[in-house]
Amino acid sequence: MRDMLRYRGRRAASIENDALRVTVLEEGGHIAEIADKATGVNPLWTPEWPSIEPSTYDRAAHGLYGDGVDAPLLAGLMGHNVCLDIFGGPSEDEARAGLPVHGEVSTARFEIEATPTSLTMRAPLRQAQLHFERRIDLVDRGVRVREQVENISGTDRPVGWTEHVTLGPPFLDSRTEFRAPATRSRVFEGTFGPADYLTSGADFDWPHAPRAGGGTHDLRRFPGANPSSAYTAQLVDPAREHGCFVAFAPASRLAFGYVWRRADFPWLGIWEENRARAAAPWNRGAVTRGMEFGVSPFPETRRQMIDRGPLFGTRSCGWIPARGRAVVEYWAILRPADAIPEELDWPR
């Protein structure tokens, strides 16, 4: 492969065409950048704190990232990360065994092969006994992603598998609009963050989420004025073959979003952290919105995921058969726009 480059101090690889540049990180495999070359805008979130390679994280030396179980992930988090084989935190036993938040894939070291317009990434997940592979191809203003997870164990495996796409400034601000073909939704059950403003555990019809103090909030808009925290789970319309979300930034006049097969990922989680968390490394400085499509509605432990069972008549976890594999494909699209498209079509 070509020599690894540096991206914000991290080892990385990039591909580009006349319109877009895509950059991935060697450790964690995160898609750190899908940049519009004409404007220089990357809709994906770059954390406000310094980013380091997960392999260099040391709890005693890196207090900057806090002292929670999520610190190793936060030290290297950037842009779009994959959550596998859990979506959420590990159990106490799993944490003692060294399993990170959202699974080991987010801190694994990837082998990367690159051509001018494609990347192939591979990483063994030894604790989970899975092998993860991703191929990224640039096609005009689209980014085609194909992921394969192989179960190398002799048992059927229940898995959480979520594409944790997080948007940030300058693309994300109080004027950014969102669209998604969602139906039934539920607010996170319990306390999600220090500035929760939605009614805990409430069911609602997309996009009007009930506020804790009365009234509703239209989730098609980002409430950027005051500190806020929230998580809601949206069921992608069961009548559709494809799910999607699209975001529009008036300042840069760009529309950005993803489209996927609903049979692969029936859920869209919306995570909001808007200058709310006081603890390190957040320090009330992060402005983010996660648009997270996956097999599970909520970030939770493996046992909670399995015990939850179906929600709104739809499964809450995925399965990979013994010695078998699962393959998904999805697209990211970034293009100029004068207004927000109501949805994204599967590229032909």
Predicted structure pTM score: 0.97
Residue 2 has a pLDDT of: 55
Q: Is the pLDDT of residue 3 over 70?
A: no
Q: What angle do CA 95, 108, 7 make, to 5 degrees?
A: 125
Number of Cβ within 10 Å of residue 125's Cβ equals 18
Residue 306 has a pLDDT of: 96
CA distance 217 to 208: 5
Let me know how long the chain is: 348
Residue 171 has a pLDDT of: 98
Residue 292 has a pLDDT of: 98
Residue 224 has a pLDDT of: 77
Residue 223 has a pLDDT of: 87
CA distance 207 to 191: 21
Query: What architecture is domain 5-336?
Result: Distorted Sandwich (2.70)
User: Mind listing the pLDDT tens digit for each residue in 160-194?
Assistant: 999 999 999 999 999 999 999 999 999 999 999 99
Q: Is the pLDDT of residue 29 over 70?
A: yes
What mean pLDDT do residues 94-109 have? 95
Q: Is the pLDDT of residue 1 over 60?
A: no
CA distance 304 to 25: 31
Q: Give me the DSSP letters along 63-122.
A: GGG-SSTTHHHHHH--SEEEEEE-SSPPPHHHHHTTPPTT-GGGGPBPEEEEETTEEEEE
User: Mind listing the pLDDT tens digit for each residue in 205-233?
Assistant: 999 999 999 999 999 999 877 899 999 99
User: Mind listing the pLDDT tens digit for each residue in 252-304?
Assistant: 999 999 999 999 999 999 999 999 999 999 999 999 999 999 999 999 999 99
Instruction: Locate the domains of the chain by residue range.
Output: 5-336
Q: Residue 4: which pLDDT band, with cuts at 50, 70 and 90?
A: confident
What mean pLDDT do residues 11-21 have? 97
Taking 3-state DSSP, the helix, strand and coil percentages for the chain, each rounded to the nearest 5, stand at 10, 45, 45
Q: Which residue has the tokens 């097999």?
A: 295
Q: Residue 61: which pLDDT band, with cuts at 50, 70 and 90?
A: confident
Largest CA distance in the chain: 56
CA distance 297 to 43: 24
- On average, the pLDDT of the chain sits at 96
Cβ pair 258, 291 in contact under 8 A:
yes
SS3 category, 256? strand
